[in-house]
Amino acid sequence: MINRKMIVALLLVVFVILIGVLNLNAAEAKKININSASAEELTQLKGIGPSHAAKIVAYREKNGPFKMPEDLMQVSGIGQKTFEANQEYIIIEEPK
């Protein structure tokens, strides 16, 4: 039979793991400059897989740098919901 000390220890371990996961997610939530990010970096955005990331890079190469974060919705397959899910993570800076 499991005693109280084991249950408390198990709960403590679960709590520590959850704290670590939350901290990891917070660290991953960095800003992404859509004018210079690689396709791999762009996949860190919510709802942006390799295919959409490649479309963003191709659009940027054809049309030049994005002027406003909302311009991302000009890329085929990226709509309002995807933009809104990522709005706080998108930054616009001129490529170096």
- Of 1.10.287.1060, 1.10.1740.10, 1.10.150.320, 3.30.70.20, the CATH number of 32-91 is 1.10.150.320
Instruction: Round to whole Å and give the CA distance between 52 and 25.
Output: 22
Instruction: Round to whole Å and give the CA distance between 31 and 70.
Output: 15
Whole-number pLDDT of residue 25: 52
Instruction: Round to whole Å and give the CA distance between 19 and 48.
Output: 26
Whole-number pLDDT of residue 27: 45
Those residues whose C-beta lies under 8 Å from the C-beta of residue 80, and which sit 6 or more positions away, are 73
Whole-number pLDDT of residue 29: 59
The domains of the chain are located at 1-30, 32-91
Per-residue pLDDT tens listing for the chain (96 residues): 678 887 777 777 776 676 665 555 544 558 999 999 999 999 999 999 999 999 999 999 999 999 999 999 999 999 999 999 999 999 998 766
